Amino acid sequence: MTWNPSRPPFNGRLVVVGGQCSKVGKTALVVDLIRAFPGLAWTAVKVTPHAGSGCPVNGPGCRCGAEEHAFAIRHERDEAGGADMSRFLAAGARRAMWVETKAGSVEGALSTLASELAQAEAIVIESNAIVEFWHPDLLLMILDPGRPDSKQSAREALDLAHAFVFRFAGNCLVEPAVGGIVTKAEFCSAFGAAASTRHASPCATNDWRTSSYWVGRGSGERF
Ligand SMILES: [Zn+2]
C-alpha cells in the first residue's frame, strides 16, 4: 500500500510527529517543538486509537454499533493536568485536543477535526495515521535504532517523512543521527520500506515558517 495524502483542508501550517513505535518520544518531541517556536500560536493535537474497550465517546458501557461513536475530540484546558494534552498547553500551545478513534476510524474524524483547525495558524499533530490522508508541511518521524519493533503505520509513513529524529537521553530537540549523517535510505531499508535518498539527521534551528528549517548537519537540506 502506498499512501497518497492530499493537502489538508485548512490554511495553517501542519507539522506531524510520528514514531516508529509507542513510547518512542512523540509527545516529548511535540512539547519540544512548541517550546522551540514560542512565537507560533500552536494548536496541538494527539490522535490515538481508543485504548479502552468499547466506545471512545461513552466508554465501555456504551452499546453503540461499529459505525456509531467512531471518534471523540476532547479539548484540554488544564495545563496542570497529568495528560499529554496538558503538557502541550504547559509548553505554550494555545489549544490542545485529543482525538480518540475506534480502530480504523481516523478518516471518519477528519472533517470534524478540520473544522476545529480552520482558524489555526500552526498545527502540530502527534499521529502516524493522519499522514495517510493529510500531507503535512513537515513530517518528523522518531526512530530508535535500538528497538527493532515498528508499527505498520510507521512503516507506511517512513517514505513520506521529511526528516528522522533520533532521541537520546536528555531533553534536546534533535540530535545528529547515529554516526553523523544517516541517510533515509539506510533506515528505510532497515524497516523494509522503499528507500529514498534524503538525509535524515535533523537539526531544528530557525523558524520553519520562514522556510529555514534545516535538515542535516553540514550538508543541510531545506524544505
Ligand atoms: Zn458509543
Chain centroid, CA 202 distance in Å: 15
Residue 181 domain flag: yes
Residue 3 domain flag: no
- The domain containing residue 91 runs over which residues? 13-222
Q: Does the predicted model carry a pTM greater than 0.85?
A: no
Asked whether 62 and 54 are in contact (CB, 8 A), the reply is yes
Q: How far is the CA of 58 from the centre of ligand 1 (A)?
A: 5
Within the chain, strands assigned E span: 13-19, 42-49, 71-76, 95-101, 122-126, 138-143, 163-166, 214-215, 221-222
Residue 33 domain flag: yes
Chain centroid, CA 73 distance in Å: 17
Out of 81-85, 95-99, 173-177, 215-219, pick the least confident: 215-219
CATH of the domain at 91: 3.40.50
Cell of 187: 533506515
Q: How far is the CA of 68 from the centre of ligand 1 (A)?
A: 6
Q: How far is the CA of 55 from the centre of ligand 1 (A)?
A: 4
Q: How far is the CA of 56 from the centre of ligand 1 (A)?
A: 7
DSSP string spanning 108-127?
Answer: HHHHHHHHHTTT-SEEEEE-
Residue 109 domain flag: yes
Tens-place pLDDT, residues 26-83: 898 888 788 877 778 899 999 998 876 679 999 888 999 888 899 999 999 999 988 9
Number of domains in the chain: 1
Q: How far is the CA of 162 from the centre of ligand 1 (A)?
A: 37
Residue 122 domain flag: yes
